[in-house]
Structure 1
Amino acid sequence: MGMKRIMLACAAGMSTSMLVARMQKAAQEKGLDTEIFAVPASEARSRIEQEPVDVLLLGPQVMYMEAEFKKKLESKGIPVGVIPMMDYGMMNGAKVLDFAENLVRGQ
């Protein structure tokens, strides 16, 4: 799959840090070359302009921003998805990583 940059955006960027760590561990176990990081949703737009990403995952608490991000990022070919609430709540890094991979593949 090559180096992939996965950005997670949530309300404040803090609750997602544990999920990022678990996703990084899952990526390492799969031998994937990824950079996974979290930012507050309020900073996501400017960060994407500065550092292009391959996929944007939104935390369930900011799912209301999905349409706005999809509209803005569609022309850049950056898929956007809301992390499934169950996987987010359980901090299931492997499942969220799979979700991100599927979005990148267009599935």
Structure 2
Amino acid sequence: MLKILICCGGGFSSSAMVTKVKKEIVEKQLEDKVMIDFYPFTLANEIMKNYDVLMACPHLRYGVPQFIKKFEKECIPIYLLPPKMYGTMNLEDIMEDAEDILAGFKETKMNPFHFPGEENVLKVRRIHSYRREHQ
């Protein structure tokens, strides 16, 4: 099972997005394939060990490096969601990116993880998974 933790500053915007995605998980009967939860980023260190990947809102880009440095030993792959993708929060795209983040992180150990050419999350304009956009 793929376990994804989505975080924003206080958990408010991520909770709304995750509610939408959880409904989609049930509708598509994917409960045994993926689990997505939300949590405030400032408290993520308390529960991140229970997840495979942490996807953070784009506005957290300045806090992520300090978070990784502080919790380096416990840190799972952290990925800053592109702004447009965060706004649409499509289940398939989130799942595909999470799978690819895990594979890429296994190879590179880069944290925060980013896909090639997406070093600056605010310049990323895609609304779909990296895989789908680059097929």
Sort the TM-score into its range (normalised by shorter chain).
0.7 to 0.9
Q: Which residue of 1 aligns with 2:11?
A: 13
TM-score (norm 2): 0.61
- Pick the structure with more strand per residue: 1
Equivalent AA in structure 2 for residue 13 of structure 1: G
Ranges in structure 1 where 5+ consecutive residues have no aligned partner: none
Relative contact order (alpha carbons < 8 A, sep ≥ 6): 1 or 2 greater?
A: 1
- From 54, 57, 60, the counterpart of 1:56: 54
Q: Which residue of 1 aligns with 2:41?
A: 41
Q: Which residue of 1 aligns with 2:84?
A: 86
Moved over 6 A (4+): none
State the aligned residue count: 103
- Kept in 2, the 8 Å contact 1:19–1:93? The answer is no
CA root-mean-square deviation:
2.7
- Kept in 1, the 8 Å contact 2:45–2:71? The answer is no
- Pick the structure with more helix per residue: 1
- Kept in 1, the 8 Å contact 2:7–2:38? The answer is yes
Residues 16-37 of structure 1: CA deviation (Å, up to 9, x unaligned)? 1232134332586384522211
Q: Which residue of 2 aligns with 1:104?
A: 102
Q: In 1, distance between residues paired with 2:93 and 2:26?
A: 11
TM-score (norm 1): 0.74
For residue 68 of structure 1, report the CA deviation from its aligned partner.
2.7
Identity %: 28
